[in-house]
């Protein structure tokens, strides 16, 4: 699974907007399908963007989206100690499989 380096993305967005000499409002004027909140979040990098907005910003700024992907390792698999398995099996042997109950259905 991949995670996104939001700080690196924010730095790239800021750099690109600075090179284009665009403010947040100037970016909205240039690309009307965007809004001020989107550019503000993209430029600061503190809040993640939705996948759709991330790809939109990458497309309009001509940035490769996979440039900021980070591989996240799988979480370590928890191994159950044998002693714990034995205690579970021991407690299962003591449990009744079915409970004996009397039926109250009357004979017709």
Taken in order 54, 59, 62, 66, is the CA torsion positive or negative?
positive
CATH of 2-71, picked from 3.40.50, 1.10.150, 1.10.260, 2.60.40, is 1.10.260
DSSP state of 107: P
- Which letter, b or e, does each residue of 88-101 get, where b requires 16 or more Cβ atoms within 10 Å of its Cβ? eeeeeeeeeeeeee
pLDDT, tens digit, 9 for 90 and up, residues 61-90:
999 999 998 877 777 766 666 667 777 777
Q: What is the dihedral of CA 96, 101, 107, 108, to 10 degrees?
A: -80
pLDDT, tens digit, 9 for 90 and up, residues 17-64:
999 999 999 999 999 999 999 999 999 988 889 999 999 999 999 999
The residue behind tokens 């099996």 is 89
Q: What are the boundaries of each domain within the chain?
A: 2-71
Asked if 2 and 44 count as a contact pair (C-beta separation under 8 A), the reply is no
Q: Give pTM, 2 decimals.
A: 0.63
| CA 45 – CA 28 distance, rounded (Å) | 18
């Amino acid at each position: 699974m991949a995670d996104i380096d939001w700080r690196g993305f924010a730095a790239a967005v800021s750099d690109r907007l600075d090179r284009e000499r665009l403010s947040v409002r100037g970016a909205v004027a240039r690309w009307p399908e965007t809004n001020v909140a989107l550019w503000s979040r993209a430029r600061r990098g503190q809040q993640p963007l939705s996948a759709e907005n991330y790809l939109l910003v990458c497309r309009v700024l001509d940035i490769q989206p996979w440039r900021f992907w980070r591989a996240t390792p799988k979480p370590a698999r928890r191994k159950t100690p044998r002693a714990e398995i034995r205690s579970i099996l021991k407690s299962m042997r003591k449990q009744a499989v079915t409970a004996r109950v009397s039926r109250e259905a009357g004979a017709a």
